[in-house]
Amino acid sequence: MPFSTVLDHAAPASSVAFEHVWRPRSRWQRVWLAVAPLLRKPGFVLALAIVVFALLAALAPGWLAHADPYATAPLAKLASPGAAHWFGTDELGRDLYTRVVYGARLSVTAALLAVGIALVGGLGLGIVAGFAGGRLDTVLMRVIDVMLALPGLLLALAIVTAIGFGTVPVAIAVGVGIVPGFARTTRAEVLRIKTLPYVEAARLGGASWTRTLVRHVLPNAWGPVAVLATLDFGAAILATAGLSFLGFGAAPPAAEWGTLIANGRVFLMTAPWVSLLPGLFLVAVVFSVNHIARTLEENPR
């Protein structure tokens, strides 16, 4: 008689009773169980609300602002924030709040495009480098080193010098700048997971490399990569705003956030809100994105 029955650890096995009861729990149920506790944190909910607002502004600005962002009203120029104009007006009398909301379309879309480029390029490079190893890995790492040696903004400057100004070139420039950091993190994760026992167990169980990649490596690498993608989204917003601030974004009267801030520079002494309030909105959005990223990081599923 095995001595283990003296200790109350192993539960008895009974098959018949469970025959009809057990089915595998669905994946969606598990996702919901993981996400629900997050919604109880007030900070997280607020950050989520702000980001949703920004996304909504990008997709359907008309719902959130009712004035015309291009309508000039010289009589109401440089009005300070008040009931009629929540953010005040700029030097041509245009309602700043409306311009900020409409500006989201360009700025947020540019950032999304940039992160998209970074995801495709960075993930691809990172996975290939991490998985393939050996010579290919070394070569790709050198390429990434070279890209890292060109500082983000300067690389972006070079690209817009070459292909011209505007929202899309700015997005491409920023996206290319984010690729090396992304590739590095992805590669590190792939390398880490590749050596874990359960990957070896899967291989020994007959799994092909494809299956290992798709079923084991990617789902487990996704965590840190997703956090980085979120953080980079915030960084991309800042970078695209920076480039448009310098004058390389969409031409006026387009209302990119960076351009708005740049326009208001001249009036800083007399009407500071023209620059500062759009900037404040920008800070709120990026901070919320960062907060979401950090919350996801601290609560691994």
The single residue among 65, 111, 286, 296 that binds other proteins, judged by CB under 8 A, is: 286
Q: Which amino acid is at 279?
A: G
197 binds other proteins (CB under 8 A): yes
Residues 13-42 that bind other proteins (CB under 8 A): 13-15, 18-19, 21-22, 24-25, 30
The single residue among 48, 86, 112, 290 that binds other proteins, judged by CB under 8 A, is: 290
Which stretch in 66-74, 80-88, 102-110, 195-203 sits in contact with other proteins by CB under 8 A?
195-203
68 binds other proteins (CB under 8 A): no
79 binds other proteins (CB under 8 A): no
H-assigned helices in 19-95 = 27-35, 42-59, 61-64
174 binds other proteins (CB under 8 A): no
Q: Which amino acid is at 105?
A: R
Tell which residue, 200, 205, 233, has the closest CA to residue 217: 200
Closest approach of other proteins to the CB of residue 161, in Å:
5
What angle is formed at CA 280 by the lines to CA 279 and CA 284, rounded to 5 degrees?
115
Between the alpha carbon of residue 240 and those of residues 7, 34, 192, 255, 274, the distances in Å are: 64, 33, 33, 13, 19
Which stretch in 59-67, 108-116, 123-131, 235-243 sits in contact with other proteins by CB under 8 A?
235-243
Residues shown for the chain:
301
Letters for 149-168 (x = contact with other proteins by CB under 8 A, - = none) are xxxxxxx-xxxxxxx-----
- Phi and psi (nearest 5°) for 95? -70, 120
The single residue among 60, 62, 214, 215 that binds other proteins, judged by CB under 8 A, is: 215
* DSSP letter assigned to residue 227: H
Closest approach of other proteins to the CB of residue 208, in Å:
7
* DSSP letter assigned to residue 72: -
Q: Residue 116 is inside which H or E element, if any?
A: helix 96-118
110 binds other proteins (CB under 8 A): no
Q: Give the end-to-end CA distance of the chain in Å, rounded to a whole number.
A: 41
246 binds other proteins (CB under 8 A): yes
Q: Toward other proteins, which CB reaches closer, 68 or 200? A: 200
